Amino acid sequence: MGLARSTFYYEPCPETPENLRLMRRLDELHLDHPVYGSRKLEVKLRQEGWVVNHKRVTRLLQGMGIQAIYPKPNLSQPGADHVRYPYLLADVDINGPDQVWCADITYVPMANGFMYLVAVMDWWSRYVLAWKLSNTLEAQFCVEAWEEALRTGRGTPLISNTDQGAQFTAPVYIDAVESAGVEVSMDGRNRWIDNRFIERLWRSAKYEDIYLQDYSDGLEAGRGLGRWFPHYNQERPHQALGYATPHEVYFNPQGYGGKPKTWEAMRSGPKDGSGKGRLPSPDPEGDRDTVWKKA
């Protein structure tokens, strides 16, 4: 069969319970100090009593898909045949739903192992359109989340924004986006702030649900997140939305200053950065002109 004997007899070794505890602590430290690299995280762990070295911390961080958010050597590269697209949202006026959707992947620690979580979110309203769990970092679960978002959303977005990870630069994902007639936008290198809204979603999901529940396996995590995401969308007040819920803002955009817009109109918006990183807040006086509020 052309299969090496060493490959045939090999059985993957899961992470030890100690490494799983260490990975969870690294994830917590990264959320609190996202600019800390492997050496600073090693120091923090040693201060807490962990017996670790730099190589171990680096290996675990790479397995979790976590990187510090400052300029650094090219530790993570997209596939050799993957095409990277420019960032299209600089100085673009975003003032309504379904203009920009964003997607990202995060690490989910569990009591016995770990998984990866992808979500697709409407940029303006913060409404989570779809999410998927996977035990690998292959691109297919990202494609499935994107296709589900197209089914559950109000319509098709004008732009899809992601980072330059191998899952989002994979041809199968790019084909799924472009076949829906959507423009592809990607964050710049080491520019976590370009996709900051979904990064904030991960912090909420982990501190409000994942860390508290301490899911034992993927099945339990899927059921728990299946309860939390509807809560986030439909019940949890969002300060940046004037304490409305993402569901209210996404499905009633006129009540919150949202206006439909074409891609051409977005590109011809203000060039002073006023549309970048801001969301319209509800207007209690009934004036439907857009009122801008810092996210």
DSSP per-residue codes, 127-148: -EEEEEEESS--THHHHHHHHH
Strand segments, DSSP code E, in 39-150 are 100-110, 113-122, 128-134
Q: Bigger pLDDT: 172 or 31?
A: 172
- The tens digit of pLDDT for each residue in 99-147 reads 999 999 998 988 878 899 999 999 999 999 999 999 888 899 999 999 9
- The tens digit of pLDDT for each residue in 151-191 reads 999 989 999 999 888 899 999 999 999 999 999 998 865 45
Q: Is the pLDDT of residue 14 over 90?
A: no
Residue 120's pLDDT is 97
Lowest mean pLDDT among 33-42, 191-200, 254-263: 191-200
Q: 93, 277 in Cβ contact below 8 A? A: no
Which class is domain 78-295?
Answer: alpha beta
Per-residue CA distances from 46 to 41, 43, 123, 209, 244 (Å)? 9, 5, 39, 27, 43
Main-chain dihedrals φ then ψ at residue 68, nearest 5 degrees:
-70, 155
Give this prediction's pTM: 0.71
Residue ranges per domain, the chain? 13-64, 78-295
